[in-house]
Amino acid sequence: MKLMRYGDRDGRKIPCILDANNTPRDASSIVGDFGPRSLAAGALVKLAAVDPESLPVADIAGKRLAPPVAQPFNIWCVGLNYSDHAAEAGMAIPDEPILFNKASSTYCGPNDDILFSPKMTKLDWEVELGIVIGKPALNISKSEAMDHVAGFVLVNDLSERAWQLERSGQWVKGKSFPNFCPTGPVLVTPDEIGDVNALDMWLDVNGKRMQSGNTGTMIFDAETIVSYMSEFTRLEPGDLICTGTPPGVGAGMKPQVWLQKGDKVSLGISGLGEQSQTVVDL
């Protein structure tokens, strides 16, 4: 299945399931919304039993494209998870996944603006594969991991590198500004995505290709990440895991390149759609 949502940030959302022609169908008669609580209550099972073409075409004209799942309670991240990105950063390949958090308030729609604070000096981009948890996971094996995954999403894991790396403390400081986690446009279930560990990904700034990679160069694949994290915490329905980025971030360039007001960022992952954002004043 492919799921999308439309609606203003603070208003009612229209949950949609895409039919065979990728036409959004209004699924609100089946599930009031797609989110942590509805996923926990078996929303995907209910939707899988419905023929999308039996649902009305969604009235989405002029409506904002929202994240495909309502705001998660937790956003988890994996650092330095691409071998070529670790080389770009001049850092050793980690023996275990490097885990950190982003504030859940960073979560926003795929085309929402990137907010620029006058206190920012090193605003950076990161195209990433996101994993959305579908049912609780605690101490699960790698072979069980996909049974606990609702689907996959495209994420831009925005970062303020000066805050992240130069202001002491943990990385969360440079990862948690509002709108630092554009997500979507679509959530694709595991049965629909094919081989999630072989997806092409890219990111452009002002029309110039900055990142080009493939999830096949992840050091720790999607199944390993979910299983590994479940050793230390209980992953909950709706939780988003950002799995790392390929090379081409601004911090890795010589000279380094940072986002400025007015810049336009576009990114995509095969099978998961595309995003487009503009950097604007806070």
Residue whose C-alpha is closest to residue 61's, from 35, 26, 30: 26
In this predicted structure, what is the pLDDT of residue 83?
Answer: 84
User: Within this chain, do residues 266 and 151 fall inside the same structural domain, yes or no?
Assistant: yes
Q: Which of 43, 66, 89 is the last residue of a domain?
A: 66
Q: Which of 66, 88, 119 is the last residue of a domain?
A: 66
In this predicted structure, what is the pLDDT of residue 78?
Answer: 97
In this predicted structure, what is the pLDDT of residue 29?
Answer: 95
User: Within this chain, do residues 193 and 80 fall inside the same structural domain, yes or no?
Assistant: yes
User: Within this chain, do residues 211 and 246 fall inside the same structural domain, yes or no?
Assistant: yes
User: Within this chain, do residues 124 and 215 fall inside the same structural domain, yes or no?
Assistant: yes
In the chain, the DSSP E strands lie at: 2-6, 14-18, 24-26, 65-66, 75-79, 98-102, 107-108, 114-116, 123-124, 127-133, 149-156, 159-160, 181-182, 187-188, 200-205, 208-214, 240-242, 264-269, 273-281
Gap between the Cα atoms of 240 and 151, Å rounded: 10
Tens-level pLDDT at each residue, the chain (282 residues): 999 999 998 889 999 999 999 999 999 999 999 999 999 999 999 999 999 999 999 999 999 999 999 999 999 999 989 988 777 777 788 999 999 999 999 999 999 999 999 999 999 999 999 999 999 999 999 999 999 999 999 999 999 999 999 998 889 999 999 999 999 999 999 999 999 999 999 999 999 999 999 999 999 999 999 999 999 999 999 999 999 999 999 999 999 999 999 999 999 999 999 999 999 999
Q: CATH number for the domain including 183? A: 3.90.850.10
Q: Which of 12, 35, 66 is the last residue of a domain?
A: 66
User: Within this chain, do residues 34 and 133 fall inside the same structural domain, yes or no?
Assistant: no
Residue 220 belongs to domain spanning = 75-281
In this predicted structure, what is the pLDDT of residue 219?
Answer: 96
Q: Is-contact 155 242, C-beta < 8 A?
A: yes
Number of domains into which the chain is organized: 2
Overall pTM > 0.95: yes
User: Within this chain, do residues 42 and 118 fall inside the same structural domain, yes or no?
Assistant: no
User: Within this chain, do residues 8 and 139 fall inside the same structural domain, yes or no?
Assistant: no
User: Within this chain, do residues 119 and 21 fall inside the same structural domain, yes or no?
Assistant: no
User: Within this chain, do residues 144 and 219 fall inside the same structural domain, yes or no?
Assistant: yes
In this predicted structure, what is the pLDDT of residue 85?
Answer: 77
User: Within this chain, do residues 93 and 233 fall inside the same structural domain, yes or no?
Assistant: yes
In this predicted structure, what is the pLDDT of residue 10?
Answer: 84
User: Within this chain, do residues 35 and 105 fall inside the same structural domain, yes or no?
Assistant: no
User: Within this chain, do residues 169 and 49 fall inside the same structural domain, yes or no?
Assistant: no
